[in-house]
Amino acid sequence: MHSLAKAGMIASLLFSSLAYAAGINIGATRVIYHGDAKDESLSISNNDTVPYLVQSWAQSISDSGVVGDAPFMVTPPLFRLDGGQKNVLRIIRTGENLPEDRESLYWLDIKSIPRTDPNDKRNILKLAVKAEFKLIYRPKALTQTPEEVTEKLQWSRQGNELVVNNPTPYYMNFADIAIGGHKLKKPRYVAPFGSARYSLPAGAGGQITWSIINDFGGTETEHRTP
């Protein structure tokens, strides 16, 4: 389960120094939208005793941080979730043409806002919390998983950078990358048929090892270059 309380704070309401931790939990850390599916679902629950207003939407975000529209609709887009209650978000493709020879990456944002009681005179800081999840469209023709083809990644060292080329149609979301036992900081992912560059720690050299995050948000086997 992924707790929005740990995802990061985006805004504060009221005042004082007492933070109110969100009790919203999401049933996955990513959504794989299969090309032959009418929709995909994601469970959401409120483990707190107070109600929250939950807002959800999909968007595209470029490497430069530019935000754009996504060909997906999230329903319900805005709803109240009472304490101890559960609901299901449905992600629906809106019909835009997407590449059928590779995966496409979008983002699912979920924001939770705790109820403010106007009769509560205590100085309590309540926080709106937003979490961002990967939303990956996987065409019907792609019948494998990233883990099954991650050994095809091509690694090379160019100066003070480690370069990885991805000849597969899948996004490779890295959990860890290390060279000679030196772990790289925040390796992120490499796009289908694309490449990524990572700065090397001083003195790093030797065998490269990596592990990727699977469809369920877990870490798979550690892989090694020859």
Q: What is the pLDDT of residues 53-92, one digit of tens each?
A: 999 999 998 777 778 899 999 999 999 999 999 999 999 9
Q: Is the four-CA dihedral 157, 161, 165, 171 of positive or negative sign?
A: positive
45 and 129 assigned to the same domain: yes
Look at residues 97, 115, 138 and tell me which one is the last residue of a structural domain.
138
Candidates 173, 211, 216, 217; CA nearest to 191 is: 173
Kindly report the pTM of this predicted structure.
0.83
Please tell me which residue, 19 or 42, carries the higher pLDDT value: 42
- Are 180 and 206 contacting, i.e. CB atoms less than 8 angstroms apart? yes
Candidates 138, 135, 57; CA nearest to 98 is: 138
Please tell me which residue, 130 or 79, carries the higher pLDDT value: 79
116 and 172 assigned to the same domain: no
Beta bridge partners of 137: 33, 104
122 and 187 assigned to the same domain: no
Q: Is residue 154 part of a domain?
A: yes
Q: How many CB atoms lie within 10 A of CB 126?
A: 22
170 and 214 assigned to the same domain: yes
Please state, for a pLDDT cut of 70, what percent of the chain lies above it: 85
Look at residues 138, 156, 175 and tell me which one is the last residue of a structural domain.
138
- Are 223 and 210 contacting, i.e. CB atoms less than 8 angstroms apart? yes
- What is the number of structural domains in the chain? 2
Q: Is residue 59 part of a domain?
A: yes
Could you check whether the bond before residue 187 is cis, i.e. omega within 30 degrees of 0? no
Look at residues 82, 105, 138 and tell me which one is the last residue of a structural domain.
138
Q: What is the mean pLDDT of residues 36-46?
A: 95
pLDDT of residue 5: 36
> Can you give the CATH number for the domain in which 62 is found?
2.60.40.10
Q: Which domain holds residue 220?
A: 146-224
Q: Is residue 5 part of a domain?
A: no
